[in-house]
């Protein structure tokens, strides 16, 4: 994580049985310590996960791996310059398999579909905010508002969000400031992203969000 900040997931190591539908999850590591928290949550939920750093595998090699799901990790920097293969992978696999982006991965998703990333108005490293969401996708079955951990200075912009994406969650709804986009979802493809860190100890129900993602199959919501 930026500035060497390391966080750890809640102390819940209960593992469920292996998921046949998540037998080959690929997690792209954008050089971030949180990647291994994500790995742990996915594995605890029964997924078989392989991690590749964003500059250590080509798109052709990634395609040959035939992933069942794709997860793009958080990381420092900007999605257009610091995410390696992440954007190309999202573009390639969206519409084919479920794709989930976290923080920088979420920004990559917005960028791939034509949105812009800009400063969020403040630098957030370990801040808890109240999230309001639509109850769909990774938020299925969760309380309508919950605390999430934020570690970012950039975010997607409302004015440039493409028609293909819908806002799935926001924060700052109780404040005078303009709400910040905390999650987006493709309207057709099973491609979803969150700006906050579901793997952080600051986030409530984070493990359930990964469980909901792993329940997805196919490349579209109608699959």
- Is residue 166 annotated as a catalytic residue, yes or no? no
Q: What span, in angstroms and rounded, lies between the C-alpha atoms of 114 and 159?
A: 11
Instruction: Determine which one of 45, 92, 192, 199 is catalytic.
Output: 199
Q: What angle do CA 112, 184, 92 make, to 5 degrees?
A: 30
Q: Is 188 considered catalytic here? A: no
| Alpha carbons 183 and 160: distance in angstroms, whole number | 15
Q: Which of 106, 152, 186, 197 is catalytic?
A: 197
Q: Catalytic site residue 199?
A: yes
Residue 115's SS3 state is coil
What distances in angstroms separate CA 171 from CA 79, 108, 113, 126, one per listed residue?
21, 20, 22, 15
- Identified catalytic residue from 103, 106, 108, 152: 103
d(CA 137, CA 190): 8
Structure token pair of residue 84: 């390696």
Cβ 171 vs Cβ 156: under 8 Å? no
What are the residue numbers of the active site? 103, 197, 199
């Amino acid at each position: 994580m930026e500035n060497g900040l390391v966080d750890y997931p809640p102390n819940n190591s209960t593992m469920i049985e292996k998921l046949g539908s998540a037998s080959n999850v690929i997690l792209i590591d954008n050089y971030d310590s949180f990647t291994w928290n994500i790995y742990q949550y996915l594995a605890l939920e029964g997924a078989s996960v392989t991690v590749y750093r964003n500059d250590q595998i080509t798109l052709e090699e990634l395609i040959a791996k035939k992933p069942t799901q794709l997860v793009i990790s958080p990381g420092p920097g900007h999605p257009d310059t610091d995410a390696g293969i992440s954007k190309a992978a999202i573009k390639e696999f969206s519409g084919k398999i479920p794709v989930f982006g976290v923080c920088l991965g979420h920004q990559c998703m917005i960028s791939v579909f034509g949105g812009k990333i800009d400063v969020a108005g403040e630098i957030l490293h370990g801040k808890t905010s109240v999230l309001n969401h639509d109850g769909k996708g990774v938020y299925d079955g969760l309380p309508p508002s919950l605390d999430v951990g934020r570690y970012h200075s950039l975010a997607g912009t409302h004015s440039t969000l493409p028609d293909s994406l819908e806002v799935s969650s926001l924060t700052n709804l109780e404040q005078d400031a303009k709400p910040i986009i905390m999650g987006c979802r493709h309207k057709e493809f099973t491609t979803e992203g969150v700006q906050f860190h579901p793997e952080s100890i600051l986030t409530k129900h984070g493990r359930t969000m990964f469980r909901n993602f792993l329940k997805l199959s196919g490349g579209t919501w109608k699959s």
